């Protein structure tokens, strides 16, 4: 549970199974931060497999090391800096090894990265991955290479990602890029640029291909999935003018969800991340309507105080958030809800903090991701507000919300005792090789004896025991979804 709650930045070294025998150069790619970065690394790997690279898990034998970085908090950036030190040590043994920095830190620091970290040969922002073949030529010729141009329309919709570190069961499918919300604490609008949606046809193609390859669950990804909007399609002659046509044929997020759910009724569908101000009731009705869309919503709130939400430019009040929570329970009974929260935002008083705790008490989230405020250069909060909450108080408040979350998680897991839930087997349990581990629709981890079940099976599991983070049970048969 600790890891899930205080989780700084997830890390993954990724290997692909889709190598090409004729490829001779070795790529080592490592990702930090959000799921979007992991998904982007799969796009990057796909581009590089077509440039003569295969992935390796051995840093020492790499010709090219790429690190996909996160800027969301200072600590995330420090983690990457430490990794660069490690690469430096390897480069002393293997001087021809090249190092490229991708993602949000590349975008934020741009050329400065080359001066600050001598080890870095290449700096590539999140919208510039298609330029990698050219940038590689530059570094092969011994020159540094930088492309951090942000785009208004790049969605990589035409690139079929190479699946990295895959279990062959869960896959990430990106549907939007960037964010226009401008929460005052957040660096993402600066590092990932303007919001844009991907053509639904390419999304469907990718999903159909995944289903055909035997994948069982997909997560539709975007910084703000509810603002997904695609204009296009339809015959012009049926409409008075272009704008009328665009409106009539637009695909919203709920439309996309329904399309995906209908195209692949056996596939489990998840989505992340939702933003309270953009989430519409029709999305909730769509989740309720389709049995294969998981009853689970990740709904970051950041703070339970309306005053702080305003300072954060979150575009909703505490009351509106609560209304939305009530709506979710009304339309999707038994829906799992999780949160992101920030403690110690500038000017946060003890009263604001208590508001957060009481909101948590009201919602009783299934789980959550909680962070101390970290001032990010260039954001509105950094420019306008002093980072005035002492570290000790931030820490204390974080401990309090983590403790509250642990209590609520335990409340939620306890509610499943004696119930039978559908679990998709995703991996072996970390604690025992005699047990499978998977998740129920609400995204709670379930472990149970393997018996004769296999990875990727949908199994009905009767819950007999639990911790605050895990349900423990016995399998009682296959789910009808198999
Ligand atoms: N400080 C701390 N947490 C942050 N997040 C985003 N920016 C910051 C920051 N400057 C958190 C938010 C967001 C999650 C992805 O990271 O809770 O939802
Ligand atoms: Fe950042 Fe807010 Fe956009 Fe999320 S919605 S990426 S927190 S600006």
**The model scores a pTM over 0.75:** yes
CA distance 30 to 110: 19
Rounded to whole angstroms, the Cα distance separating 405 from 365 reads 7
Model confidence pLDDT, tens digit, residues 173-208: 999 999 999 999 999 999 999 999 999 999 999 999
Question: What's the distance, CA 403 to chain centroid?
Answer: 24
Which of 192, 222, 338, 340, when mutated, tests ligand 1's pocket best, judged by the most ligand atoms within 8 Å of its CB? 340
Q: Please choose from 36, 76, 275, 309 the residue to mutate so as to test ligand 2's pocket, defined by most ligand atoms within 8 A of CB.
A: 275
319 has a pLDDT exceeding 60: yes
Structure confidence by residue, pLDDT tens digits, 386-425: 999 999 999 999 999 999 999 999 999 999 999 999 999 9
pLDDT, tens only, 375-387: 999 999 999 999 9
The domains located in the chain, with CATH, are: 3-147 (3.40.50.12160), 170-409 (3.80.30.20), 420-478 (2.40.50.140)
Q: What is the mean pLDDT of residues 121-149?
A: 97
Report the pLDDT value the prediction gives residue 476, as an integer from 0 to 100: 98
- Residues 43/156, Cβ–Cβ less than 8 Å: yes
Q: Which ligand is nearest to the CA of 377?
A: 1
- What does the block give as tokens for 88? 């430096």
Rg, the chain, Cα only? 23
Query: Span 469-474, mean pLDDT?
Result: 97
Q: Token pair for residue 411?
A: 């409340």
Mean of the pLDDT values across residues 96-109? 97
Residue 38's pLDDT band (cuts 50, 70, 90) = very high
SS3 label, residue 137:
helix
Alpha helices in 364-425 (DSSP H): 380-384, 391-414
Rounded to the nearest angstrom, the distance between the alpha carbon of 69 and the centre of ligand 1 is 15
Tens of pLDDT, residue by residue over 366-376, are 999 999 999 99
Q: What is the pLDDT of residue 166?
A: 85
Residue 11 clears pLDDT 70, i.e. is over it: no
Model pLDDT for residues 149-171, shown as the tens digit of each residue: 999 999 999 999 999 888 999 99
What pLDDT does residue 237 have? 58
Mean pLDDT of 245-255: 80
Q: What is the pLDDT of residue 1?
A: 33
- Amino acid 165: pLDDT: 83
pLDDT beyond 70 at 78: yes
Q: What integer is the mean pLDDT of 300-312?
A: 98
Distance 179 CA to ligand 2 centre (A): 6
Of 291 and 4, more confident = 291
Three-state secondary structure call for residue 211: helix
Do the beta carbons of residue 461 and residue 475 sit within 8 Å?
A: yes
Residue 394 CA to ligand 1 center (angstroms) comes to 14
């Amino acid at each position: 549970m600790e890891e899930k709650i205080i989780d700084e930045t997830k890390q993954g070294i990724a290997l692909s199974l889709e190598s090409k025998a004729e490829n001779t150069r070795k790529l080592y790619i490592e990702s930090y931060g959000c799921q979007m970065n992991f998904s982007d690394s799969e796009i990057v790997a796909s581009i590089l497999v077509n440039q003569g690279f295969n992935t390796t898990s051995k840093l020492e034998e790499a010709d090219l090391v790429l690190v996909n970085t996160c800027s969301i908090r200072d600590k995330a950036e420090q983690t990457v800096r430490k990794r660069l030190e490690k690469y430096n040590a390897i480069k002393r043994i293997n001087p021809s090894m090249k190092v490229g920095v991708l993602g949000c830190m590349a975008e934020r620091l741009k050329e400065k990265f080359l001066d600050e970290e001598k080890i870095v040969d290449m700096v590539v922002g999140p919208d510039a991955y298609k330029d990698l073949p050219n940038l590689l030529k530059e570094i092969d010729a011994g020159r540094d290479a930088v492309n951090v141009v942000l785009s208004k329309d790049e969605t990589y919709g035409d690139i079929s990602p190479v699946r990295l570190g895959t279990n062959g069961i869960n896959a990430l499918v990106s549907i939007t890029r960037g964010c226009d919300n401008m929460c005052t604490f957040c660096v993402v609008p600066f590092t990932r640029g303007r919001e844009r949606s991907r053509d639904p046809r390419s999304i469907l193609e990718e999903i159909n291909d995944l289903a055909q390859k035997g994948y069982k669950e997909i997560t539709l990804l975007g910084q703000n999935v509810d603002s997904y909007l695609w204009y296009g399609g339809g015959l012009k002659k049926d409409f008075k003018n272009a704008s009328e046509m665009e409106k009539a044929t637009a695909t919203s997020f709920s439309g996309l969800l329904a399309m995906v759910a209908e195209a692949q009724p056996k596939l489990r569908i998840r989505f992340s991340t939702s933003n309270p101000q953009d989430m519409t009731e029709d999305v909730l009705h769509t989740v309720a309507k389709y049995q294969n869309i998981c009853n689970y919503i990740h709904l970051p709130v950041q703070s339970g105080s309306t005053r702080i939400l305003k300072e954060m430019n979150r575009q909703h009040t505490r009351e509106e958030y609560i209304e939305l929570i009530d709506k979710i329970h009304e339309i999707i009974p038994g829906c799992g809800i999780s949160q992101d929260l920030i403690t110690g935002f500038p000017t946060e008083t003890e009263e604001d903090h208590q508001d957060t705790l009481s909101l948590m008490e009201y919602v009783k989230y299934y789980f959550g991701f909680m962070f101390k405020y970290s001032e990010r250069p260039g954001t509105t909060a950094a420019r306008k507000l002093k980072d005035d909450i002492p570290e000790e108080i931030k820490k204390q408040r974080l401990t309090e919300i983590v403790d509250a979350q642990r209590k609520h998680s335990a409340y939620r897991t306890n509610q499943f005792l004696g119930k039978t839930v559908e679990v998709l087997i995703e991996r072996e349990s970390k604690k025992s090789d005699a047990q499978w581990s998977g998740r129920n629709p609400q995204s709670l981890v379930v472990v149970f004896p393997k018996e004769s079940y296999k990875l990727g099976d949908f199994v009905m599991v009767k819950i007999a025991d639990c911790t605050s983070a895990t349900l423990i049970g016995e399998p009682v048969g296959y789910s009808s979804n198999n």
